Amino acid sequence: MTVSSTSHQQEHGRFMTVMKDILARPSGLIGLTLVLFHILLALLSPSIAPYDFKLQNSSLMLSPPSSEHWLGADHLGRDILSRTLMGGREALLVTGIATPLAVIWGGFIGILFGLVGGRVDEVLMRIVDAFLSLPWILKMLVLIVTFGTGIGVLIPTLTFFYGIPVIRVARAATHDIIARDFVWAAKARGHSRISIIWRELLPNVLDTLMVEGAMRWSWMLLAFSSLSFLGFGVSPPIPDWGLMISDARGFMSFAPWGVIAPVIGLSSLIIGINLSADALAKALGIDRAQKAPM
């Protein structure tokens, strides 16, 4: 048996152990069920949505739930159930791409400068602090207003701004590792910094980055929905929960069903991700209480 196959078996065995630990916790089981349900719904929604999400009917405007339209209709007479089922697709697509990209670039920079240390490390942290001191919504709106909306802008914008806090987390985790003997031994053998990062540091901070990525995913979903709510996310008539809430908020006093459905969709997905992240952190032995949102 080769070393490579043995390593793969060990990784698979560890993955199965972590998954069993997560599923053994009620929070983990509920969280993963909610996340997988939303992912499955996003994949199947074009087939199971009862109506075309763009179809307008003036005779159904703000009509309450009925046997034909289970969640009622919005201010343009569009079926709310169909739009709610389709509403998570764009959010999951954008954040599902942006989250791992943010963790990858932020994690690499944090590990690299944590390894380098010295004045370069301090200068980087001051730049990170400057970014984190500004409200995230203002920073994102500047780029979005400058370059426009759409997936081609939203993904790199979310990737950039949500990768910056990952730098701090990765740097802190790296500082806990670099003083250990195996890192000093690698340096003494003349290994390059990239080699030390890949072979010594990354395997030891990967658990922290995985938990951080799960946490960032839920915050990124909120950011994406907030941008859509403000009119800077997806463009109509594409259904999105944040956009649906924005459109229906003016009718809440007499037609609340237009807000309730997308709120339930968004909140259940975020709750599922947070429960899964908590269970993952406990399974990996990561203390989330020490990682305040940044």
- CATH number of the domain within which 177 lies: 1.10.3720.10
79 phi and psi, to 5 degrees?
Answer: -70, 120
Q: What are phi and psi of 73, to 5 degrees?
A: -130, 155
Domain count, the chain: 1
In a domain, 16, yes or no: no
CA dihedral 174, 175, 177, 179 (to 10 degrees): 150
- Per-residue confidence of the chain (294 residues) as pLDDT tens digits? 454 556 567 677 778 888 899 999 999 999 999 999 999 999 999 999 999 999 999 899 999 999 999 999 999 999 999 999 998 898 899 999 999 999 999 999 999 988 888 888 888 888 898 888 888 888 888 888 888 777 888 999 999 999 999 999 999 999 888 888 888 888 888 788 888 888 888 888 999 999 999 999 999 999 999 998 988 888 788 889 999 999 999 898 889 999 999 999 999 999 999 999 999 999 988 865 554 444
The verdict on residue 32 lying in a domain is: no
Domain that holds residue 89: 39-46+73-290
| pTM of the full structure | 0.89
The pLDDT score that the predictor gives to residue 14 is 78
Residue 17 maps to a domain: no
| SS3 at position 256 | coil
Residue closest to 159 by CA, chosen among 238, 103, 241, 86: 103
Q: Are 256 and 167 in contact (CB under 8 A)?
A: no
Q: How far is CA 249 from the centre of its chain?
A: 25
Q: Alpha-carbon distance 85 to 154, whole Å?
A: 22
* Plot region of 2 (φ>0 → left; ψ -120 to 50 → alpha; else → beta): beta
CA dihedral 11, 14, 18, 19 (to 10 degrees): 60
Q: What is the pLDDT of residue 143?
A: 82
Within-domain flag for 26: no
Rg (CA), the chain: 22
